[in-house]
Amino acid sequence: MKKTLIGLCAVAALTLTACSSGSSNDSGSDSAEKTEITVFAAASLTDVFADIADEFKTENPEVSDVKFSFAGSSDLVSQVSEGAPADVIATADEKNMDTLEGDDLLAGDPQIFASNTLALAVGKGNPENIKTPKDFAGKDLVICAPQVPCGSATEKWADQNDVELDPKSEENSVTDVLGKVSSGQADAGIVYVTDIPRGDGEVEMVDLEGADKVVNQYPAATVKASEHQKEADAFVDYLQSDTAAKMLEDAGFATP
């Protein structure tokens, strides 16, 4: 009888141990759950940020995915100000980022990770033979709206070089300007140097004299309302890594 009781107790003990082990594994699985972050970024960063994110995830396996929302910097700032769920924001100028910092919507100081300059995009083969600002007359020119970093830089460049602009349209992002030129809806558009390769061979670059005197700095920061600040901070820091700097330079950006 004693042997039987001892056997039953042993089976019960093993069962409890198995249950305890299963519970522990479930807890471990939860603690190892990966995080997804959302990055709001200037339209001119579209291609290079996708590549940087791939490398970032490789080096930061606790992050399962980096989702992006690309748009004009002023639009992104408005969205964050209105409570849009973003973990990181990267703008194409310091002025727009200053708005968020002034409203105490950032978790830390913005970090400059790149800079960019203007260029003129024309159709493949430059059919309208636009080589200088004097050739803008009578042509369909598109530029960014003044509140967009590219537009603000365009205005500054025009003032510094006594260029009168009479654009066909003012767009809310540099991507929209590029799209109108590459699709043939415009003869030329003022974009960033880094945007020309994004034209898929449908646009060519014409240098703008004096553009090197108008440089846009690109800052990034963690959004204060982010629920994943540790991972967001890691992404902001990664933008200043040697790996990210090399990728930014390959895409035509200058880096600090």
Residues 45 and 100 in one domain: yes
Evaluate whether residue 18 is within a structural domain. Answer: no
Residues 97 and 39 in one domain: yes
Residues 241 and 176 in one domain: no
Q: What is the pLDDT of residue 33?
A: 76
Residues 182 and 234 in one domain: no
Evaluate whether residue 56 is within a structural domain. Answer: yes
Bridge partners (DSSP) listed for residue 188? 122, 141
Residues 169 and 245 in one domain: no
Kindly list the averaged pLDDT for each block of 10 residues, start to end, along the chain of length 256: 43 41 41 84 97 97 97 97 98 97 97 98 97 96 96 97 96 96 97 95 96 97 97 98 98 94
Structural domains in the chain (count): 2
Q: Give the domain extent around 205.
A: 116-213
- Classified as helix, coil or strand, 150 is helix
As a whole number of angstroms, the distance between CA 155 and CA 142 comes to 13
Evaluate whether residue 27 is within a structural domain. Answer: no
Identify the CA nearest to 208 among candidates 141, 255, 125, 146: 141
Q: What is the pLDDT of residue 32?
A: 57
What is the number of other CB atoms lying within 10 angstroms of the CB of residue 131?
Answer: 12
Q: What is the pLDDT of residue 124?
A: 95
Residues 93 and 134 in one domain: no
Evaluate whether residue 54 is within a structural domain. Answer: yes
For residues 88 and 158, the answer to whether their CB atoms sit within 8 Å is: no
Residue 171, domain CATH:
3.40.190.10
Q: What is the pLDDT of residue 34?
A: 84
List, in sequence order, the alpha helices (H) in the chain.
2-31, 46-59, 73-81, 94-102, 149-160, 174-182, 229-238, 242-250
As a whole number of angstroms, the distance between CA 149 and CA 93 comes to 6
Q: What is the pLDDT of residue 240?
A: 97
Evaluate whether residue 6 is within a structural domain. Answer: no
